[in-house]
Amino acid sequence: MALIFEVSEYQERLRKVKESMLRKGIQVLIVSDPANMNYLTGYDGWSFYVHQGLVIALDYDEPIWWGRGMDANGAKLTTWLKHDNIRPYADDYVQNVFKHPMSFVADILREMGWENRHIGVEKDNYWFTGQCLDVLREELPQAKFHDATSLVNWIRTIKSPAEIKYIKEAAKVCEHVMRTAIDSIEVGRLESEAAANVYHAMIKGTDEFTGDHPAIFPIMPSNERTSAAHLGWKPDRKYAPGDIILLELCGVRFRYHCPLSRTVYIGDPPKELKEIADVVIDGIAKTLDFIKPGVTAEEIEAKWREAISGSRVVKPSRLGYAFGLNYVPDWGEHTVSLRPGDKTIMKPGMTIHLMPGIWLDEFGFECSEPFLVTEKGCETFLNFPRKIFTK
Amino acid sequence: MALIFEVSEYQERLRKVKESMLRKGIQVLIVSDPANMNYLTGYDGWSFYVHQGLVIALDYDEPIWWGRGMDANGAKLTTWLKHDNIRPYADDYVQNVFKHPMSFVADILREMGWENRHIGVEKDNYWFTGQCLDVLREELPQAKFHDATSLVNWIRTIKSPAEIKYIKEAAKVCEHVMRTAIDSIEVGRLESEAAANVYHAMIKGTDEFTGDHPAIFPIMPSNERTSAAHLGWKPDRKYAPGDIILLELCGVRFRYHCPLSRTVYIGDPPKELKEIADVVIDGIAKTLDFIKPGVTAEEIEAKWREAISGSRVVKPSRLGYAFGLNYVPDWGEHTVSLRPGDKTIMKPGMTIHLMPGIWLDEFGFECSEPFLVTEKGCETFLNFPRKIFTK
């Protein structure tokens, strides 16, 4: 067992989850999201490509880990759970149209006498498919199913001091990653090579802090590909004069992310790009100044819109989102979104990526800031220059 | 538009999908799997962390791409589709409990007059959640829903010559990656640094072929962590004499994978490990000799079991699986499994990872071979020594 937090911290998280279950009328919670599994038990492995999860019951002390047989030793090695609460299923449940792992979960629930209960499922989570839902409904006709999507994620929204420490370490790695990326962009160099350097920096980390694998690959498109938000580098292309390159990267420390976006231009940036950069960079500063406990997510977005009003910049997509602990495919937590209608009140310990990415039809511009809500305002995790980097 | 295959190849794939739909009584297919989206349209971006997909109708020529607004330019740049068939949704559909992207898809279906049809969904795919299913059922009460999990994946099972070419290039990258991993394991070196070198080799590739990001992170646990199948390196640990290290790695070329597993020992391997290695390596050779078009997946597994019978090696999990084009979290195709009960008949063009991983309670051993079924037998993609690598 190699935990990165005290067992008491995992238990406190579990207590908060049970408190939320109680408020929502959920007696048994089936957790499928690997980040939520890690958050509550420490479980850490690339086994989420098959069905796995936790079962948490209000009146049962520990979460029950269930997963594929070959991963049970991984659960023993990485979680604080008693081995009795690690329940492996036989290998023929894997990708088999005749047998579904949710039948195995239903067996556990029946064995525990929980088959008639109010059961929460992470209904809109990648790791809980339509088939999972239908199998559970068929197996447990007496149960009452509740949508518990993001129930655990909302607990994750407010970070403990120990979590914030890891994110600050991830920020150090992130700074190194972003520097490496900017340094690696050179006329005549393959985009693949720059991306390889970025990955190397992310994984190796700094002399002080080792890194980790990212939940989103390095988003570093060039030229017309910067008009889209989620394209990667072009493997066989070499950088050339006049290139614009977006860098949406991160540092990771024990699955805790710190993301950051910047823009590079090879040569003298065109006027239009400089104008957009000025507006966005000014808007970021004004928005950060406004953030403190008590203001809402939508008020932050409104402040941003006020700051850029009168300019030609428009930003129809959300301005930011909560981030932290995660696995592929997203470092976002699927809770807070900085946009109209999101009435989440900022509280100390929230970590949000202020990401006013601008994607026009011909090119894009990115400059972002991950921040921590503090007792009196907010602080950014990095102090990386906000500007167009030129080469 | 930057396609890696001729448009005619994508159209032929689409034709085969429609043929399969027809056989299964499916008139409209909703595709959510990003690998299937790429296979049919070329779409390539890290945007699958929000809901997106294709709609394919028997009587409509092209797939309809639907996704988030900020990704529509990515669809225009990476697919062969007419721009009219790229349908972006507004950003407030993202992670919003009041609005679900499947309502947007239902709008498209109603607009096209397809709301009463037999509709196939990838029901047990990561990218089609329980909520997706319930929203579609509620939005389209007249539709008849069919489980079309892996319908497209089964078409993908048999690779075209152009696809095999990319996998062979990925194999060259894979060889470079495995060499880099073995070379990087040294007493006193951080596991993170070896992992960083592996990532660098995967992304940069060889002088001949650039690489790409992997669908599974480098699985390279040491010591007791080798008793589990899917643990990674330990960031802050340094290699030491007597270490056993598993390496389950890959090369990637334009999203086409070639996986490979090997085992490293620092020092003189213990007798028990050598015995297991001998049995497994002999079993691999005998199993490969047996494979040819016409034999079934379960017959291959039976041959393996026969080959290792009389030894102390047991292998309760499946012996292998189809692989190829993929995104996170899996390079496996979720179709063929080499195990009892799988009656899939081997056909030329199938690509399968023969992966007899052995995970005992104290340690593990991995040696695998990815192979291509040919007209007369099979051939491995690599010619990498099958042995315990010692340092």
Burial class of residue A349 in the structure, from the number of CB atoms within 10 Å of its CB (0-12 exposed, 13-18 middle, 19+ buried): middle
The rounded mean pLDDT for chain B is: 98
Q: Which two tokens stand for residue A83?
A: 């081995």
| A344 pLDDT more than 80 | yes
Q: Residue A365 — φ and ψ, nearest 5°?
A: -145, 135
pLDDT tens-digit map of A49-89: 999 999 999 999 999 999 999 999 999 999 999 999 999 99
**Closest alpha carbon within chain A to B213:** A217
Within 289-318 of A, beta carbons closer than 8 Å to B belong to 316-318
Cβ-defined contact of B213 to A217 (cutoff 8 Å): yes
Report the DSSP pairing between strands B118-121 and B144-147: parallel
- Please give the angle made by the CA atoms of A87, A88 and A89, to the nearest 5 degrees: 125
Q: Which two tokens stand for residue A249?
A: 């990267």
What proportion of chain B, given as a percentage, has pLDDT over 90? Answer: 99
Could you tell me how many residues make up chain B? 391
Helices A130-139 and A101-112, interaxial angle, to 10°?
40
- A298: how many CB neighbours lie within 10 A of its CB? 17
User: Does the CB of B4 have a partner CB in chain A at under 8 Å?
Assistant: no
The rounded mean pLDDT for chain A is: 98
Question: What is the predicted pLDDT for the residue at A2?
Answer: 79
Closest CA to A368 of A242, A155, A233, A216: A216
Q: Which of A32, A47, A124 to mutate to test the interface with B (most CBs of B within 10 A)?
A: A124
**Closest alpha carbon within chain B to A98:** B341
Cβ-defined contact of A128 to B124 (cutoff 8 Å): no
Q: How confident is the model at residue B357 (pLDDT cuts 50, 70, 90)?
A: very high
- B148: how many CB neighbours lie within 10 A of its CB? 24
| A121 pLDDT more than 80 | yes
A14, A80 in Cβ contact below 8 A?
no
| B148 pLDDT more than 90 | yes
Cα(A193)–Cα(B55) distance, rounded to whole angstroms? Answer: 36
Which amino acid appears at position A147 of this protein?
A: D
What sign does the dihedral A118-A122-A128-A134 (CA atoms) show?
Answer: positive
CB contacts, 8 Å: B100 with chain A: 124
The whole-number average pLDDT for the span B35-54 is 98
CB contacts, 8 Å: A249 with chain B: none
Within 158-187 of A, beta carbons closer than 8 Å to B belong to none
Q: Which of B203, B232, B235 sits opposite A195 (nearest CB)?
A: B203
User: Does the CB of B204 have a partner CB in chain A at under 8 Å?
Assistant: yes
Report the DSSP pairing between strands B364-365 and B358-359: antiparallel
| B1 pLDDT more than 80 | no
The whole-number average pLDDT for the span A30-53 is 98
User: Does the CB of A141 have a partner CB in chain B at under 8 Å?
Assistant: no
Q: Which of A38, A203, A323, A339 to mutate to test the interface with B (most CBs of B within 10 A)?
A: A203
Q: Which two tokens stand for residue A51?
A: 């069905």
> Residue A163, CB half-sphere, CA atoms under 13 Å: how many?
24
Q: Which of A48, A129, A197 sits opposite B129 (nearest CB)?
A: A129
Q: Which two tokens stand for residue A186?
A: 């050179």
- A375: how many CB neighbours lie within 10 A of its CB? 9
User: Does the CB of B36 have a partner CB in chain A at under 8 Å?
Assistant: no
Q: Characterize A135-157 residue by residue with b for buried, 16 or more Cβ atoms within 10 angstroms of its Cβ, and e for exposed.
A: bbeebbeebebbbbbbbbbbbbb
Size of interface A-B (CB pairs under 8 A): 254
B257, B323 in Cβ contact below 8 A?
yes
Which amino acid appears at position B168 of this protein?
A: K
Cα(A348)–Cα(A285) distance, rounded to whole angstroms? Answer: 20
Q: Which two tokens stand for residue B368?
A: 């695998």
Say whether A163 sits in a helix, a strand or coil.
Answer: helix
pLDDT tens-digit map of A239-271: 999 999 999 999 999 999 999 999 999 999 999
Q: Characterize A311-343 residue by residue with b for buried, 16 or more Cβ atoms within 10 angstroms of its Cβ, and e for exposed.
A: eebebebbbbbbbbbbbbbbbbbbbbbbbeebe
Q: Which of B132, B196, B212 sits opposite A130 (nearest CB)?
A: B132
Closest CA to A285 of A350, A365, A368: A368
Check whether domain B161-390 has CATH 3.90.230.10, yes or no: yes
Beta-carbon contacts of B115 under 8 Å, excluding residues fewer than 6 positions away, are B106, B109, B140, B142, B143
CATH of A7-156, picked from 3.40.309.10, 3.20.20.140, 3.40.350.10, 3.40.1160.10, is 3.40.350.10
Closest CA to A194 of A186, A203, A202: A186
Within 229-288 of B, beta carbons closer than 8 Å to A belong to 229-232, 234-236, 254
Residue B37 CA, chain-centre distance (Å), reads 14
* Omega cis (within 30) before B141: no
What proportion of chain A, given as a percentage, has pLDDT over 90? Answer: 99
Question: What is the predicted pLDDT for the residue at A280?
Answer: 98
Q: Which of A121, A211, A316 sits opposite B69 (nearest CB)?
A: A316
Report the DSSP pairing between strands B86-89 and B64-68: parallel
Q: How confident is the model at residue B2 (pLDDT cuts 50, 70, 90)?
A: confident
Beta-carbon contacts of A143 under 8 Å, excluding residues fewer than 6 positions away, are A109, A115, A116, A117, A118, A119, A136
Which amino acid appears at position B66 of this protein?
A: W
CB contacts, 8 Å: B90 with chain A: 316
Cα(B98)–Cα(B75) distance, rounded to whole angstroms? Answer: 26
CB contacts, 8 Å: A127 with chain B: 126
ipTM: 0.98
In CATH terms, are A7-156 and A161-390 the same topology? no
Cβ-defined contact of A232 to B47 (cutoff 8 Å): no
Question: What is the predicted pLDDT for the residue at B196?
Answer: 98
Report the DSSP pairing between strands A256-265 and A388-390: parallel
Cα(B100)–Cα(B131) distance, rounded to whole angstroms? Answer: 9
Q: Characterize A213-238 residue by residue with b for buried, 16 or more Cβ atoms within 10 angstroms of its Cβ, and e for exposed.
A: bbbbbbbbbbbbbbbbbbbbbbbebe
Closest CA to B177 of B256, B247, B277: B247
Report the DSSP pairing between strands A53-57 and A332-337: unpaired
CB contacts, 8 Å: B210 with chain A: 190, 192, 235-236
Q: Which of B3, B149, B204, B335 to mutate to test the interface with A (most CBs of A within 10 A)?
A: B204
Which residue in this structure is represented by tokens 């037998």? B377
What sign does the dihedral A104-A109-A111-A117 (CA atoms) show?
Answer: negative
> Residue B387, CB half-sphere, CA atoms under 13 Å: how many?
8
pLDDT tens-digit map of A182-193: 999 999 999 999
The whole-number average pLDDT for the span A90-118 is 97
Q: Which of A46, A70, A229 sits opposite B232 (nearest CB)?
A: A46
Cβ-defined contact of A211 to B219 (cutoff 8 Å): no
Q: Which of B90, B203, B224 sits opposite A196 (nearest CB)?
A: B203
Q: Which of B69, B77, B339 sits opposite A317 (nearest CB)?
A: B69
User: Does the CB of B138 have a partner CB in chain A at under 8 Å?
Assistant: no
- Please give the angle made by the CA atoms of B372, B377 and B380, to the nearest 5 degrees: 35
Q: Which of B96, B192, B321 sits opposite A210 (nearest CB)?
A: B192
Distance of CA B337 to CAs A22, A390, B332, B345, B346, Å? 42, 51, 10, 11, 11
Cβ-defined contact of B204 to A193 (cutoff 8 Å): yes
A284, A257 in Cβ contact below 8 A?
no
**Closest alpha carbon within chain A to B95:** A334
User: Does the CB of A324 have a partner CB in chain B at under 8 Å?
Assistant: no
A382, A260 in Cβ contact below 8 A?
yes
Cα(B13)–Cα(B23) distance, rounded to whole angstroms? Answer: 16
Can you give the residue ranges of every domain in chain A? 7-156, 161-390
| B260 pLDDT more than 90 | yes
Closest CA to A332 of A150, A109, A83: A150
